[in-house]
Amino acid sequence: MAIELIIFDCDGVLVDSEVISCRAHASVLTRHGYPITPEQVLVRFLGVSDREARQMVEDEIGRKLPDDLEAQIKTATLQFYAGELQPITHVATAIAAIDLPKCVASSGTPEKIRHGLDCAGLYDQLAPHIFSATQVARGKPAPDLFLFAAEQMKAAPENCLVIEDSVPGVTGARAAGMTVLGFHGGSHCPPGHGETLRRAGAGLIFDDMRQLPDLVRRVGTEALAG
């Protein structure tokens, strides 16, 4: 495989934010009459955009949620980020060690992605090549965001390597014809999550970002897309 582009998911891959995001999401939904725990948010909505999570809840309860729900979730999330957010351990060193074009393709809003990367000290390593699900018609698990990122970066989808931590992310990347590495080292990942990602289509799984540069080199010499 001739790798032309590395595509990183953000939450749970670059920044250890999923637990924080789930807490914010659960707080807002519960306040609006949909009781849910952060753990339940993680199981149901990991890797799914706020827009699509909202639609899932509205379909279930048979009524509309407030028009500014996403703004409320963003505000709560950013408040938590300021004091708690950390980068995934060793990710900055891993990014620096990979001498290939890189970008971010995240289900978050542009503001959330930037704020998260800023708080974690990673924004300057990856800007300006940062893409959000708000820029496409369908978020993950559809392939739209990955194909959009590849198009913007002028890379062939079959030559893109995606780093993902969620089943919707792995599914979307595979639907785009891309090879996927499944990362299961975030604080939100339960035991067995790596195998879940493998079953979803990840060619290789790993839980330590220090492994990533060698895995990228390995993918460059092996056919893992299936």
pLDDT for residue 223 = 54
DSSP string, 19-76: HHHHHHHHHHHHHTT----HHHHHHHHTT--HHHHHHHHHHHHTSPPPTTHHHHHHHH
- What is the per-residue pLDDT across 15-42, written as a single tens digit (0 to 9) for each? 998 888 889 999 999 999 999 999 999 8
Tell me if 13 sits within 8 A of 90, measured CB to CB.
no
Please state the pTM of the whole predicted model: 0.84
- What confidence tier does 82 reach under pLDDT thresholds 50, 70, 90? confident
- Catalogue all structural domains in the chain, each as residue range(s) with its CATH number: 5-17+85-219 (3.40.50.1000), 18-84 (1.10.150.240)
222 pLDDT band, cuts 50/70/90, is confident
Residue 226 has pLDDT above 70, yes or no: no
% of the chain surpassing 90 pLDDT: 77
Tokens of 171: 């599914």
Ranges assigned E (strand) in 108-225: 130-132, 160-164, 179-183, 204-206
pLDDT digits (tens, 9 = 90+) for 115-135: 889 989 999 999 999 999 999
115-134 CB burial, b ≥16 within 10 A, e <16:
bbbebbebbeebeebbbbbb
Cβ-count burial of 83 within 10 angstroms (0-12 exposed, 13-18 middle, 19+ buried)? exposed
pLDDT value at 224 more than 70: no
Choose between 45 and 212: higher pLDDT: 212
